[in-house]
Amino acid sequence: MEKHIVKVLATRPVTHNVKQFDFEKPKGYKFVPGQATDVSLNRTGLRDDLHPFTFTSLNDWDNLQFTIKLYTDHDGMTNKLQDINAGDELIIHDVWGAINFKGPGLFIAGGAGVTPFIAILRQLYRDGNIKGCKLLFANRSAEDIILRDEFEMMLGDNFINVLDKTDDPKFLRGHIDKQLLQKYAADDTQYYYVCGPDKFTEAMVGFLEEMGKTKDQIVIEE
């Protein structure tokens, strides 16, 4: 199994519980937007404790990047990442397929499930190919929206936020359900990309199938 020890170059907060990590890119290391790798901390007792994270950088950047939600309610990997800063070391492994981009469509994300879409949409925007893409993004509150400014810049009115609690008319209040999906699924929408907690993904796929969407049209993490 491929293994690389890489130094963290910089960290920065994205939201109150999401942190971005920039780190060294090994020579010849390649990936496709939407792909992931297994990561561990280069510390005694933790080197074999592997956890999957999706790249949010682009393949031709000089560095690699993760954008990670930190869960502090238990002593897991993301809780340990709170204390990781520039100069610390991670261990990354083989690249593997996560979300496979097939063509423009509706991206449906729940919370941190948006992370596989970040590099995909960044690449499409940079290449001038983001036309026909929409992002339907579910969160608890406005403070939980990851990379809000960047998504607004890239997608404009095609960035739709659905929040559990909000009085702001710029956002939709409630949850993503079949009716909402039908509203934002244009007749010519070819693909539906879904990522989020397991129950969220299961529900979204169920709604899409009820709408008559085929397995080839629905793209989930592999």
What single string gives the DSSP state of each residue in 63-125?
Answer: EEEEEEEPP-SSSSHHHHHTT--TT-EEEEEEEE--S---SSEEEEEEGGGGHHHHHHHHHHH
Close Cβ partners of 218 (under 8 Å, ≥ 6 residues apart): 191, 192, 194, 205, 208, 209
| Structural domain boundaries in the chain | 4-96, 105-219
- Residue ranges of alpha helices (H) inside 127-192 are 148-155, 178-184
How sure is the predictor about 173, in pLDDT bands with cuts at 50, 70 and 90? very high
Q: Supply the pLDDT for residue 73.
A: 80
Q: Supply the pLDDT for residue 9.
A: 98
Q: Supply the pLDDT for residue 188.
A: 80
> Which fold is adopted by the domain 105-219?
Rossmann fold (3.40.50)
Query: For residue 187, is pLDDT > 80?
Result: no
> Which fold is adopted by the domain 4-96?
Elongation Factor Tu (Ef-tu); domain 3 (2.40.30)
How sure is the predictor about 134, in pLDDT bands with cuts at 50, 70 and 90? very high
